[in-house]
Structure 1
């Protein structure tokens, strides 16, 4: 992970995502639905649900939208039955790509994902064809302009709470954890008044692939097509965007 800051990728795509707030709300509602369906609707006992609700509130998602998604998942409201599916394959230039979807129509989703790959020089593969190239980690990002804490003190706090690795730059602190330690590290930071810019359990590539300028354009177009799909929740890849 060292040398490949997720922070830069976050900032790189943030403006485009901010322009699609309604779509963001839809994806957050599905995240809330899935978390509540898997772990129940009580935030005091469901850390995953608590985490995604915090993210939804940070995006100014209305409370009624949050409550509706929980009620749908727990049987309080009628609604579509969503299923989580992960598609794997290779993008242009051999980039390893995983696409996490939440859908109520597998045929529609599979067709759309396959089209995004094939139209841009990629190939959709079998389950497991690239997932072995990624590690599941907890990730917490802190904007240095938003906190007033000594770097050594922050490192000590994070490590004592269970962090595995900390990267620093002029813009941010980035903290990586084992998925099982994620919640306790997050709670320790917040208990000390530290504002988190991002906090999630996600997938990190073990190696990165560089692309030429002409292939970059195809990769960006493929990512755009996938991100515009309402069924797509997250995209993980090993393209070195720096």
Structure 2
């Protein structure tokens, strides 16, 4: 799990530095619209929509944008109809990569994704080739400096979390997907800062990478994440936090 968490938190910091608000808002709007289309426009009765709205507000997305995205999803106002797709492939040293894509034209998206893999040292695979290597879980991080392990265990486990563990200077809290909103709410109510909180795909095992392989992996991850239709990229590599931060900062 640690490799995934390190990438996720490093990526989050990099996104704040790069201030790619346009792309962030576009992806959040797509997620809100799909959540509203599948589960209705009331966040109280739609956990996926409630989570998407919470993330949008954390990114300072204007409420008007959020409302329009919901209305597009429910059909109250016209908008593109998005389809959710999953792609799978491999990166350097056989690293497993799982993509969640939202598109209104899959005939355009598929060849573009295949090209990104091939140009950056990877290979797009068949459906099912790596998905079995991941488990869907809620993953939440909080700085270890802000809470003791005993206190965090009390807060998180009582709210429905499955596990709490220390990784470097952060605690990682894992949950079942259905318990994720309640655990987030409990941690925030206790005054904890949550730098990363998402329902994600956590790899069962990881592949350690160093040097050129680590550099190639980061280049492939960033190329995939920069594609407008890609919502999430999951992979089972493990690169040290220091190496990740260095590679991300140096482009």
DSSP 3-state at the match of 2:237: coil
- Match for residue 153 of structure 2 among 131, 147, 155: 155
Of 115-124 and 71-80, the range deviating more from structure 2: 115-124
Query: How far apart, CA to CA, are the structure 1 residues paired with 2:5 and 2:90?
Result: 24
Where in structure 2 are the equivalents of 1:122-161 lying within 5 Å? 122-145=122-145, 147=146, 149-161=147-159
1:189 shift after superposition: 2.3
Gap runs ≥5 in structure 1:
none
Of 82-91 and 9-18, the range deviating more from structure 2: 9-18
User: Is the helix fraction higher in 1 or 2?
Assistant: 2
DSSP 3-state at the match of 2:45: coil
CA RMSD of aligned residues (A): 1.7
- Match for residue 215 of structure 1 among 204, 213, 216: 213
1:103 shift after superposition: 0.2
Q: Which has the higher contact order (CA 8 A, sep 6+)?
A: 2
The reply on whether 1:181 has 2:192 as its aligned counterpart is: no
- How many residue pairs get matched? 238
TM-score by length of 2: 0.88
Query: How far apart, CA to CA, are the structure 2 residues paired with 1:45 and 1:66?
Result: 17
Does the CA contact (< 8 Å) of 1:137 and 1:202 recur in 2? yes
Does the CA contact (< 8 Å) of 1:140 and 1:198 recur in 2? yes
1:188 shift after superposition: 2.5
1:6 shift after superposition: 4.4
Where in structure 2 are the equivalents of 1:1-80 lying within 5 Å? 1=1, 4=2, 6-18=4-16, 19=18, 20-80=20-80
Query: How far apart, CA to CA, are the structure 2 residues paired with 1:139 and 1:93?
Result: 26
DSSP 3-state at the match of 1:87: strand
Give CA deviations for 1:8-67 in whole Å, capped at 9, x if unaligned. 323322343221121111111111111111111101111111111111111111111111
- Match for residue 194 of structure 2 among 187, 193, 196: 196
DSSP 3-state at the match of 1:44: helix
1:183 shift after superposition: 2.4
Give the 4+ runs in structure 1 shifted more than 4 A: none
TM-score by length of 1: 0.91
Give CA deviations for 1:199-234 in whole Å, capped at 9, x if unaligned. 211101111112342222222221121111110000
